[in-house]
Structure 1
Amino acid sequence: MPELPEVAAIAHHLDSRVAGLPIRRVDVASLAVLKTADPPYTALVGRTVTGVDRIGKYLVVRTVVDRAAGGAPDGAAADDTAADDTAGEIDLVIHLSRAGWVRWRDTLPPTPPRPGGAVAVRVHCGLPDEGFDVTEAGTRKRLAAWVVRHTDEVARIAALGPDALAVSRDDFGEIVAASTARVKNLLIDQRSLAGIGNAYSDEILHTARCSPFATGATLPPGRVDDLYEAMRTVLREATDRLDGSEVARLKSEKRTGLRVHGRTGLPCPVCGDTVREVSFSDRSFQYCPTCQTDGRVLADRRMSRLLR
């Protein structure tokens, strides 16, 4: 799943391509991808992209009517745009979920993407053949898109906690102290902190030498300091490393920077102990016993069921 560093890199890459360009056409392969109907996605056509940024793990493509170019919403005269509720900013918000991705293409196919295929949304902008595809691999389609006048109209965004790279130490401490959840779950709960997923939470906990099963409210202030600094270090280093990378290489670049996540059975790069895994029904996490749990091997839920 793309997390804060990858989404930031995708946003930067896309912004460098589309900022200032008009949107010529928008193709939606399945209306199930769209979670809003007002404004319609066709309202994006004829508007100009002002920039692409992120909120947590959400991509935000911001657009306005280019009055200098004579742009106006469909059915509205140019001098009536100020009174039209689509004349202001309209945002295309995208959540890539587990298997979503964005691909810029210098030459887009002339025919719309077929339903059920890899391309969920196609945005034509810039030169007639240019634009970008929003794709999703696999058969479980979870990618979501919203067309809104303000990002707070997306309920999931309105419910987000502070950004993991913007939260202050004091606010972070209050979030941790108020939580009875395990630290692993706290880090990936977007209502508590926005932007961290399964992979980088493993990396943060390893860097902080903290057990995934530690409870937030029981962490002493010194351990909270360690966790906060580890969070900022891991996310900043990953963001800096990925910034400027080609989008097609982001996934492989991400993997090369991971020390424990996805490295079950390999030696820990810090102490040499074997990286272990705890599996659940729909996900797993990795950790180093020596670095994080005083040498104790945590019970693997999958193996525990098999041994009953």
Structure 2
Amino acid sequence: MPELPDVSVYVEAIRTRVAGHQLVRTMVKSPFLLRSTAPPIGATAGKTVREVRRLGKQIAIGLDDGLWLVLHLMIAGRLHWKTSAPKLGGRNILVAFEFDNGWMWLTEAGTQRRAALRVVEGDQGLQSLNAGGIEPLDASLDAFGSALRSSNHTLKRSLTDPHIFSGIGNAYSDEILHRAQLSPIALSQKLTDEEVDRLYDATRATLNEWTDRL
């Protein structure tokens, strides 16, 4: 599943291509993808993209009038971009977005459809999709330590809990713990201050390093 580094790169790439451009229309090809009904998907047609941001492991595209398209790629979802239209009859294409300067579409490999698209309105609607975990690259050491020790979980569970830390999943949590030389089954409330420092530094270094690589 795409995590913080992967989603951050997607956000940057989408922002570069569509910020300031008009979303002409959205064609949902899979009935399992769209997980919201109000506002309707048709309400986004003709709106200009004002912002693109990461929301945990989700991609949020902000449009005129406070509307947001929120995509969760899950495990096998991938986004594609071309200046010309894709072949919309493809079985793996779940949704296609036509902009005034090109097309972006979502594919999902396999037979199970887990990717999700939602349309929400305003900051309140957007935050309703936010699990509430702190941003690990923005947090101070004190804030990181407080969040880590807020529950007595294993380090693996704490790092991957979106209510504690935003955007970290199985893949990068393993990288982080290896770099910090800490056991995934160590309990978060049993760590020494020095171990919390190591975990904080390893988290930031790992996420930044992989974002740069990608």
User: TM over 0.5: same fold?
Assistant: yes
Amino acid corresponding to residue 121 of structure 1 in structure 2:
V
SS in 1 for 2:208: helix
The correspondence for 2:147, drawn from 162, 167, 175, is 175
Q: Distance in 1 between matches of 2:96 and 2:58?
A: 17
Q: How far apart are 1:31 and its partner, in Å?
A: 2.8
1:160 & 1:145 partners in 2: Cα distance?
Answer: 19
Q: In the TM superposition, what is the alpha-carbon distance from 1:154 to its structure 2 partner? A: 5.1
Q: Provide the rounded CA distance (Å) in 1 between the counterparts of 2:52 and 2:89.
A: 23
1:27 touches 1:112 (CA, 8 Å); kept in 2?
no
Deviations 1:106-159 (A, max 9, x none): 2114x7456xx21111100024xx210012111121101111113542576332
2:74 to 65, 89, 97: 97
SS at match of 1:145: strand
- Helix, strand or coil at the partner of 1:131: strand
CA distance in 2, matches of 1:141, 1:160: 25
Q: How does 1:202-213 map to 2 (within 5 A)?
A: 202-213=174-185
Match of 1:13, SS?
helix
Match of 2:114 in 1: 142
RMSD: 1.6
97-106 or 145-154: which moved more? Answer: 145-154
Higher strand residue share: 2
Deviation at 1:30, TM superposition (A): 2.0
Q: How does 1:249-264 map to 2 (within 5 A)?
A: none
Residue 159 of structure 1 is matched in structure 2 by 131
Please give the alpha-carbon distance, in whole angstroms, between the structure 2 residues aligned to 1:36 and 1:233: 37
Cα deviations by residue, 1:156-212 (Å, 9 ceiling, x for unpaired): 633221112112211111122222211011101111101111110000000000001
Q: Give the letter aligned to residue 100 of structure 2.
A: G
Contact 1:152 1:158 survives alignment (8 Å): no
Paired with 2:129 and 2:170, the residues of 1 have a C-alpha distance of 19
> Is the counterpart of residue 124 in structure 1 residue 101 in structure 2?
no
Is this contact kept in 2: 1:113–1:120, CA < 8 A? Answer: no
Distance 1:190 1:144, change over 3 A: same
**1:186·1:192 contact (CA, 8 Å) conserved in 2?**
yes
Q: Deviations over 1:210-265 (max 9, x none)?
A: 001111011111100100110001011111222xxxxxxxxxxxxxxxxxxxxxxx
Q: Distance in 2 between matches of 1:171 and 1:180?
A: 16
Aligned residues of 1:151 and 1:157 also touching (Cα < 8 A): no
The match for 2:20 is: 20
- Taking only the aligned residue pairs, the percentage that are identical comes to 38
Q: Give SS of 2:151's match.
A: coil
- For residue 213 of structure 1, give the secondary structure of its aligned residue in structure 2: coil
Specify the alignment match of 1:222 in structure 2.
194
Q: Give the residue type in structure 1 aligned to 2:79.
A: V
Residue of structure 2 in register with 1:201 after alignment:
173
TM-score, normalising length from structure 1? 0.66
Counterpart-to-counterpart distance in 2, 1:124 and 1:39: 19
Report the 3-state secondary structure (helix = DSSP H, G, I; strand = E; otherwise coil) of the residue aligned with 1:179.
coil
TM-score w.r.t. length of structure 2: 0.94
Classify the secondary structure of the residue corresponding to 2:94: strand
Indicate conservation of the 8 Å contact 2:23/2:97, yes or no: yes
Partner of 1:163, secondary structure, is coil
Q: Which runs of 5+ in 1 are unaligned?
A: 65-87, 243-308
- Specify which structure has the bigger relative contact order, considering alpha-carbon pairs within 8 angstroms and separated by 6 or more residues: 2
Conserved in 1, the CA contact under 8 Å of 2:21 and 2:100?
Answer: yes
How many equivalent residue pairs?
214
- How far apart, CA to CA, are the structure 1 residues paired with 2:138 and 2:195? 20
